[in-house]
């Protein structure tokens, strides 16, 4: 059922050994390098004679809670649409996020908060680590059901390192503004995953196509993930921004953009659907595009109207764009573009990350270019220093900042595509126990499943196993 005795024995050893190895190495690095920051360390905080009410924890932790729920509940359940892959969707999300949080603390710490030979951590580093985990989970969506847990651990290890480098180049070296991560999180995660999927292309995946569709209850679970993400997205975009008007403005712009993308998604879904009926696939994905598209510009003076317009455009493009998953045997949402993505470019995008994160992320980056070019002292007043400090200090013009924003998008795309391609080559190593073409999208390969589910799936899986081995 789960494969030959040799494959079973390898699976029993490789995955736990990798988990223990990564955890042991991370623990040693934490012991050597990681320390509390000045707002967390008992001696440093009380030495400064601060009021407890001034501790950053009370200002940042509510946003952290929302972002944390998005990572573990929102992303996990959004990917639970596959009828026989629910355990893996939620369980591997849990696994990858836990690894990414630790590893990204180290990577981001070495790049951003390494001083006196130590990494200093607090609530802000927790938020940044969650952002990195979000990018990893976006990439996971592109290869969902076609990779084993050992492959996913290595994917996370590589992607976290490249995510940290890309973030450092954009935010520190180039001075790019990207508060909600349209570039650093969504664009990077999407195109890293799509490049990975391209290298891992499976020409015989038709053997598992019958499991690729959803059923009624699995789509309901996925909708739970959508609702969690939708509700908490204003916190996601505003969590790292400057306290005060910047954080307030970011939440407000995201809030309105999400409402507009939801309405456009419902409208377009009814227009392109058969007999005017709504498609739950569209609602689960494209309704969230409004949060992605304002990730870069939500901290800027986008205006409420601009947020509505951006959200409406993102919802429209996401609904009509390529990569939206469909149950086997049904029509494509976009009869021209989606078949091209797989047949011409050989990209098998399980969750449709291209239409939810990729295209809206690029649109969001371009929107940031436009809004940055329009920045003036009159529009921002003294607030220009917190949003565009280099413009406020006279080191750049608004047009120069816009050019840097555009170059940041180019750097992100290049690092994501090259990194994802290299990651795909790494994951093709034969000892990493990838599922067979006939066993993709199936929980039983890696999980103990309840007997009633096993009774339904056991027979077909055995038959396909024999056919594959023959």
- Residue range 355-360: average pLDDT? 94
**Average pLDDT of 3-14?**
67
Estimate the crossing angle of helix 188-199 against helix 398-427, to 10 degrees.
30
Q: Give the integer Cα–Cα distance in Å for 345 and 355.
A: 15
Mode of pairing for the β-strands spanning 118-121 and 34-36:
parallel
**Over the stretch 311-328, which tens digit does the pLDDT of each residue have?**
999 999 999 874 344 444
The dihedral of CA 139, 266, 365, 238: what is its sign? negative
Tokens 């390192």 correspond to: 161
The tens digit of pLDDT for each residue in 269-318 reads: 999 877 889 999 999 999 999 999 999 999 999 999 999 999 999 999 99
What pLDDT was estimated at residue 324? 41
**DSSP designation for 55:** S
Q: Are strands 114-115 and 34-36 parallel, antiparallel or unpaired?
A: unpaired
Task: Check residue 52 and give its pLDDT.
Answer: 73
Give the torsion sign (CA, 36, 39, 41, 47): positive
How confident is the model at residue 338, as a pLDDT?
53
Task: Give the pLDDT confidence of 188-228 residue by residue, as tens digits.
Answer: 999 999 999 999 998 888 888 888 888 999 999 999 999 99
Task: State the virtual CA torsion across 340, 341, 346, 350 in degrees, nearest 10.
Answer: -140
- What is the DSSP code (8-state) at residue 163? H
């Amino acid at each position: 059922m789960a494969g030959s005795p040799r494959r079973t024995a390898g699976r029993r050893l490789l995955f736990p050994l990798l988990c223990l190895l990564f955890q042991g190495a991370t623990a040693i690095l934490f012991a050597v390098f990681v320390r509390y920051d000045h707002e967390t360390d008992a001696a440093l905080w009380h030495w400064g004679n601060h009021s407890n009410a001034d501790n950053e924890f009370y200002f940042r932790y509510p946003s952290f809670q929302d972002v944390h729920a998005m990572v573990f509940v929102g992303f996990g359940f959004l990917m639970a649409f596959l009828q026989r892959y629910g355990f893996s969707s939620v369980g591997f999300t849990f696994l990858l996020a836990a690894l990414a949080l630790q590893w990204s603390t180290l990577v981001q710490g070495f790049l951003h908060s390494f001083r006196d030979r130590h990494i200093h951590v607090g609530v802000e580093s927790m938020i940044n680590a969650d952002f990195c985990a979000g990018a990893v989970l976006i990439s996971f969506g592109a290869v969902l059901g076609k990779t084993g847990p050992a492959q996913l651990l290595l994917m996370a290890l590589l992607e976290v390192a490249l995510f940290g480098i890309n973030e450092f180049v954009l935010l520190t070296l180039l001075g790019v503004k990207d508060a909600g991560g349209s570039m650093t999180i969504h664009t990077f995660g999407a195109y890293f995953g799509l490049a990975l999927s391209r290298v891992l292309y499976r020409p015989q995946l038709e053997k598992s196509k019958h499991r690729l569709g959803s059923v009624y209850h699995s789509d309901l679970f996925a909708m739970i993930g959508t609702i969690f993400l939708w509700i908490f997205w204003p916190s996601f975009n505003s969590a790292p921004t400057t306290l005060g008007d910047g954080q307030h403005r970011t939440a407000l712009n995201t809030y309105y953009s999400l409402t507009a993308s939801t309405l456009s998604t419902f409208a377009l879904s009814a227009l392109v659907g058969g007999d005017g009926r709504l498609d739950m696939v569209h609602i689960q994905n494209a309704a969230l595009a409004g949060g992605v598209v304002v990730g870069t510009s939500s901290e800027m003076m986008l205006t409420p109207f601009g947020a509505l317009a951006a959200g409406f455009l993102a919802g429209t493009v996401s609904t009509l764009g390529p990569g939206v998953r469909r149950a086997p045997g049904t029509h494509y949402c976009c009869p021209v573009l989606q078949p091209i993505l797989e047949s011409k470019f050989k990209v098998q995008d399980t969750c449709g990350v291209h239409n939810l994160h990729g295209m809206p992320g690029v649109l969001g980056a371009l929107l940031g270019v436009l809004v940055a070019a329009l920045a003036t002292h009159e529009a921002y007043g003294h607030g220009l220093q917190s949003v565009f400090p280099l413009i406020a200090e006279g080191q750049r013009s608004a047009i120069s900042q816009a050019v840097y924003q555009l170059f940041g998008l180019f750097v992100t795309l290049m690092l994501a595509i090259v990194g994802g391609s290299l990651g795909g080559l790494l994951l093709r190593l034969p000892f990493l126990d990838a599922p067979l073409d006939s066993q993709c999208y199936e929980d039983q390969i890696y999980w103990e499943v309840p007997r009633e589910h096993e009774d339904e799936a056991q027979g077909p899986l055995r038959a396909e196993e024999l056919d594959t081995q023959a």
